[in-house]
Structure 1
Amino acid sequence: MENSVEQQVCLKFCVLNESSCVEALKMVEAYQWYKKFKEGREVIEDLPRSGRPSTSNTKENVAKIKKNVLEHRRKTEKAIACDLNISNGSVHHILYDILSMRRVAARLVPKHLDFLK
């Protein structure tokens, strides 16, 4: 509860100073880090979080998907997911976010021309 009130105070300060939302977000994040260091934290890096680590977005799967797409440009995300036994969402993330590919005329093509290197 105390943390929420402190964040609201920071946000009100930003609004009164006519800061943008992005600047306000950066200020709240900086304030949280400042508070942690003031309380005695010495580690600069983020601490490990609980939760299950990603097992689909590995370098091996990225390489397999890249090879698969370059050989069969008209293959669907669902077919690739079935071949590699990973989820459709993971295939979509790898294709669009990691490999920066886009579907053009029913073919997956690289967004940047230096992709084939």
Structure 2
Amino acid sequence: MLQKAFGEQALSKTQTYEWFKMFKEGRESVEDEERSGRPSTSTDEQHVNAIKELVLKNCRLAVRDLAGLVGISEGSVKTILRDHLCLKKVKSRLVPKTLNHASFSS
């Protein structure tokens, strides 16, 4: 019935039974549980602060330049800029997404 109602987006029969079993055993949340794995070492507080300082000194630095100066991957730099510092590129400048400098400088 689920596949008929929701098509390809529906859980498979096996997956439905697994979820049913977990809830029957006492699970209350539908959110994913924490998984063990290798922690991110490039987006730690030290790297976030280093990127923040470089951007405050020169907001025209390219992601490639920031990655080279700090010694982490370009993907990690993009994650720090987007998720931790809430910045985005606007005409070759890194600016706060909300365009409120007070929120960035704190």
TM-score normalized by the length of structure 2: 0.68
Distance (Å, rounded) in 2 between the aligned partners of 1:78 and 1:100: 18
Distance (Å, rounded) in 2 between the aligned partners of 1:100 and 1:32: 38
Distance (Å, rounded) in 2 between the aligned partners of 1:62 and 1:68: 10
Q: Percent identity?
A: 38
Deviation at 1:57, TM superposition (A): 0.9
Gaps of 5+ in 2: none
Distance (Å, rounded) in 2 between the aligned partners of 1:82 and 1:47: 32
For the residue of structure 1 that corresponds to 2:81, the secondary structure is helix
Deviation at 1:14, TM superposition (A): 3.1
CA RMSD, 1 decimal: 3.1
Question: Compared with structure 1, are the counterparts of its residues 74 and 47 closer, same or farther at alpha carbon in structure 2 (3 Å cutoff)?
Answer: closer
Distance (Å, rounded) in 1 between the aligned partners of 2:6 and 2:46: 48
Q: Which has the higher helix share?
A: 1
1:76 aligned onto 2:62? yes
- Choose the corresponding residue for 1:14, options 2, 24, 29: 2
Kindly report structure 1 stretches of 4+ aligned residues shifted beyond 6 Å. none
Q: Map residues 16-55 of structure 1 onto 2, 5 A cutoff.
A: 16-17=4-5, 21=9, 32=18, 34-36=20-22, 38=24, 46-49=33-36, 51-55=37-41
- Choose the corresponding residue for 1:96, options 68, 82, 102: 82
Question: Compared with structure 1, are the counterparts of its residues 62 and 30 closer, same or farther at alpha carbon in structure 2 (3 Å cutoff)?
Answer: farther
TM-score normalized by the length of structure 1: 0.63
Count, aligned residues: 98
Distance (Å, rounded) in 2 between the aligned partners of 1:94 and 1:31: 39
For the residue of structure 2 that corresponds to 1:54, the secondary structure is coil
Q: Which residue identity lines up with residue 50 of structure 2 in the other structure? A: K
Deviation at 1:47, TM superposition (A): 5.0
